[in-house]
Amino acid sequence: MTTHAPTDSPLGRHTHYPDRYDPGLLYPVPRAPARAALGIDATALPFIGHDRWQAFELSWLDLRGKPCVACASLWVPATSPALIESKSLKLYLNSLNAHRFPDAEAVRACIEADLSGAAGAPVQLMFSLPPFETTAPGESIDALDVTITTYGPPDASLLQADPDTLVEETLTSALLKSNCPVTGQPDWADVSIRYRGPRIDRASLLRYLVSFREHAGFHEQCVEQIFVDLMARCAPQRLSVEARYTRRGGLDINPWRATPGDTPPPPRRTLRQ
């Protein structure tokens, strides 16, 4: 059996983490190009929504140098001109580790100002995490007995709906996977689709969601593509799509997009988060 020293593997490669506060680490990604590729007019968005981040590894120093730790939830509005790339957000939050603040309110104000500047719209922070979801709303489609052969790129032609049968229901799946376009690492999510309109064929929906499996796209962009494809192919009167991604680097993200006038889903964590 061939053995390898840890220093020869990717695990042994040094990753530089900031040793001082640096808001310049934040890397905003303009939303407009990916939206244009989906046929979305950036000046007339067909949805409302937000990107809700959950941060599990937040720390700073008080004025006497004593470390403080916290968890936090962040809300970035879907109307912001830019999303914030996840690794840059991780590095930015790590840059607070050795920075001194008079109190938690100063930390909150600092983070909100820096993230709002990067996103181009007001970002909110709350020092808390939502409770776990004890009972998932809706019905899972994951147990369907289907044959699947398409794993990318996402194929909206797989979607089917019955225009003669109108329903109001919530369908869920834990089988959504895509890949980070920056690192190539897999991103895993539970997705919830709440709609009113022609009944969506569940087997076709499952095949469609699995067709993201080898797709490289940011979390937020994947949710917007699901929203746009469902609207175009299934013509719901009302639609809400939320994906709750699993944690990576002490962060997870929960993008939500819905038809205007819809109510935001209550913030909850899945058991995978």
Pairwise CA distance, residues 95 & 24, whole Å = 10
Pairwise CA distance, residues 227 & 238, whole Å = 11
Catalytic member of 51, 114, 187, 229: 187
Q: Nearest Cα to 218, choosing from 192, 180, 245, 252?
A: 180
The answer to whether the bond into 153 is cis (omega within 30° of 0) is yes
- Look at the block and give the residue holding tokens 């999303």: 83
Pairwise CA distance, residues 155 & 133, whole Å = 30
Q: Is 66 helix (H, G, I), strand (E, B) or coil?
A: coil
Pairwise CA distance, residues 116 & 10, whole Å = 34
Pairwise CA distance, residues 225 & 130, whole Å = 26
Pairwise CA distance, residues 181 & 141, whole Å = 27
Q: Nearest Cα to 227, choosing from 61, 48, 42, 73?
A: 48
- C-beta atoms surrounding 71 within 10 Å: 14
187 catalytic? Reply is yes
Q: Nearest Cα to 220, choosing from 72, 15, 82, 64?
A: 82
Please list the residues that pair with 255 across neighbouring strands: 51
252 catalytic? Reply is no
Catalytic member of 22, 110, 180, 262: 180
Region class of 152: left (phi > 0), else alpha (psi between -120 and 50), else beta:
left
Cα Rg of the chain, angstroms = 20
Q: Where in the sequence numbering do the catalytic residues fall? A: 180, 187
